Every structure is written in C-alpha cells, then in structure tokens.
Homo-oligomer: A and B are copies of this chain.
Amino acid sequence: MPDKESSRLNRLGRPRSFDLDGALEVGQRLFHERGYDGVSLADLTSAIGIAAPSFYAAFGSKADFFRTVLARYNGATVSIDEFVTEDDPIAAPIETFLVARAVSYSQDALAKGCLVLDAMRNCSDAGAALCAAQIAEEGRRRVSELVAITRPDMAEPISDLVASVMHGLSAYARQGWPTERLVSVARGAALSVRKMVESSDLAKS
C-alpha cells in the first residue's frame, strides 16, 4: 500500500513521470468502453504510457485503480439535487434527473451506459463490484431522502423504481438505443412517480 502523498510529503526521490489524474481519466475511458474485465493491465499501462510496476506503485492493483476510477466518475455525474426546485419538490426533479441520465448514458458513443451500474454486475472483482453497489445505493438513498420530505410512505417504492429504471437505461444505452428512446423510457417511468406522489394522501397531514 504505497501512500501516494505521504512519507515526508514526497520531497525525496525520483519524481513521478506521469499525471495521476490523467491516468485515471484514461482508465475511466477504457473501463467505460469495455468494462472492468474487458480491460487488461497491459491495456491500461500501454494506454497510460507507463510500465506495469509504475502502475502498481501508484495505484496498488487493478481493482484499487478501478475503485478510484469509480469514485472519480461518480463525482462527475449529475446528482438529483441539482434539479430540485420549490414548485415541485419530487416528481419534476426525478423526471429531469432520469432524462438527464438517459441523455448522458447515450451521448458518448465510446462510453455508453453507467460505469457504476455496469460494474455492479459486469465485474469479476468482488470488492470492486461491491464498491459500485455502494455508490449506486448512495444515489438511491438520496432519491429516497428527497421523496421522504413530502411523502415518507413513498420514499422506498419510488426510489426503488427509479434505481431499477436506471439499470434499464444503462443496459439499453449499451445496446445502442438512441437518446430519444431512452428519454421516452425515463419520461414513462416518471409517470409512475408522479402518480405515486399524487396518490391517496393517507400519510399526509
């Protein structure tokens, strides 16, 4: 476990000859294009432009590297929080969020689908798959929390549905479905959300 930025603040020794985040970006592109198992260490190192030992000194292992890539990717994706308004606190943000995902999953021809959702299933390393599942669960919980503000009884059903539809969006984006088609799916799912939000207000004050 070589701490990247420790041991007397790296003032000694030969400096690293490549950019850490640049390597992560290259890896992210490759993983998004071909999946965890579709990218070998030789692919990674040759694309980054370094030899294997440099890779291991910097990142520890392929799985560790991938986990870092996942975090980087997740940090760059749009959150549902960005769509929350005061008018419609739930249904509209969820619809906009799903549509945004439908678009982002299909806009880049070489990086279709969601890297995180894909890694949940398409990843031979159990630790990396678990990491992806935790990130996905984090996102679902955020949706759940937003719904819970006004409709706590619908928090889980709605967030579960949103999470499930996102898997479909990611899967069919990978299959090559055009953006409009995925957006249609997103809007269709939003119909349910709207209906669930507006359903019999048993739990409302």
Contact = CB atoms under 8 A, between A and B. Distances in A.
Interface stretch (A23-31, A53-61, A153-161): A153-161
Interface stretch (A43-51, A76-84, A85-93, A118-126): A118-126
Considering residues A120, A163, A177, A191, which has the most beta carbons from chain B within 10 angstroms of its beta carbon? A191
A69 interface: no
A196 interface: yes
A192 B124 CA distance: 35
A44 to B, nearest CB: 17
Contact of A188 (B167, B170, B196): B196
Interface of A: 35, 37-38, 117-118, 120-122, 124, 133, 156-158, 160-161, 163-172, 174-175, 177, 181, 184-185, 188-189, 191-192, 195-196
Given A133-B175, A158-B188, A191-B192, 20 more contacts: A37-B124, A118-B121, A121-B122, A122-B122, A156-B181, A156-B184, A157-B185, A160-B172, A160-B185, A163-B172, A164-B167, A164-B168, A164-B169, A164-B189, A165-B168, A165-B189, A167-B167, A168-B168, A188-B192, A191-B195
